[in-house]
Amino acid sequence: MKAVILAGGLGKRLRPLTDSIPKPLIEVGGKPIILWQIEWLRSYGVDEFVVCVGYLKEKIINYLGDGSEHGVRIGYVVERRPLGTGGAIKNAEAFLRNERGFFVVNGDVITTIDPRELTDLGPEHVGAIALVPLRSPYGVVEFDDDLTIRSFVEKPLLRDYWINAGVYYFKPDIFRYLPAEGDIERTAFPHLARAGLLRAVKYEGAFWRSIDTVKDLEEVSRLLGEGGVVSKRT
């Protein structure tokens, strides 16, 4: 089974950390984001990776090499200029067009979801998107009918709302819908959704965080702790 890691972004919101380190190599809980991802996916049987690189690509390639040190095989597809998430996947078509299906993960996500649940597609689907409950960015105040405050809940999950987890499974048919340049979230996904070609898979109870800001980095590092392992066994 193959997985694509989208690792070519500039990581602007993590500057100045990303001035000299590509975002996927930023350490979270004592380990680079991209290594968390490889270990997580490897624990579910993924043994071959295509890493889409651009910004500071040499540092990612030098760190991961051919993947043998981590028990997997890794190849690279280079973006000569930023292509966006959709363009980056399209750029890797030569490595993926003959697969029955493949996973794609954004290069800033750390999670324990079981990606195998994404592979159960109907004949009408070209792919599936992992969804996780929206986490409130603020603490929530709970009160009763007479406005007496009863509790404070820090950043609860809002289970009536679901967000794109940045983890996907696609059939090769997806390449017909991908742009040469642009983000998949703004180009292909709206069209595919209107046509009923995407399946949603809801995940509750799994660990999921996106590392977008220094605050995220600090919070997730605290949650994971030093030396932890994200896998199906955690």
SS (H, E, C) 179-218: CCCCCCCCCHHHHHHHCCCEEEEECCCCCEEECCCHHHHH
Q: Is residue 152 part of a domain?
A: no
Q: Could you tell me which of 105, 163, 156, 154 has the C-alpha nearest to residue 131?
A: 163
Q: Which CATH number goes with the domain that contains 72? A: 3.90.550.10
Q: Is residue 142 part of a domain?
A: no
Integer Cα distance of 114 and 95 in angstroms: 24
215 among known catalytic residues: no
Integer Cα distance of 202 and 226 in angstroms: 29
Number of folded domains that form the chain: 1
Q: Is residue 155 part of a domain?
A: no
CA 133 to chain centre: 15
Catalytic residue among 31, 59, 155, 232: 155
Q: Is residue 69 part of a domain?
A: yes
Q: Token pair of 72, please?
A: 């997997």
Expressed as residue numbers, the domain containing 192 is: 2-130+161-224
Residue-wise pLDDT tens for the chain (234 aa)? 899 999 988 877 888 878 889 999 998 888 899 999 999 999 999 999 999 999 899 999 999 999 999 999 999 999 989 899 999 999 999 999 999 999 999 999 999 999 999 999 999 999 999 999 988 878 888 899 888 888 888 888 887 889 999 999 999 999 999 999 999 999 999 999 999 999 999 998 889 998 888 888 888 888 887 444 454 443
Q: Is residue 117 part of a domain?
A: yes
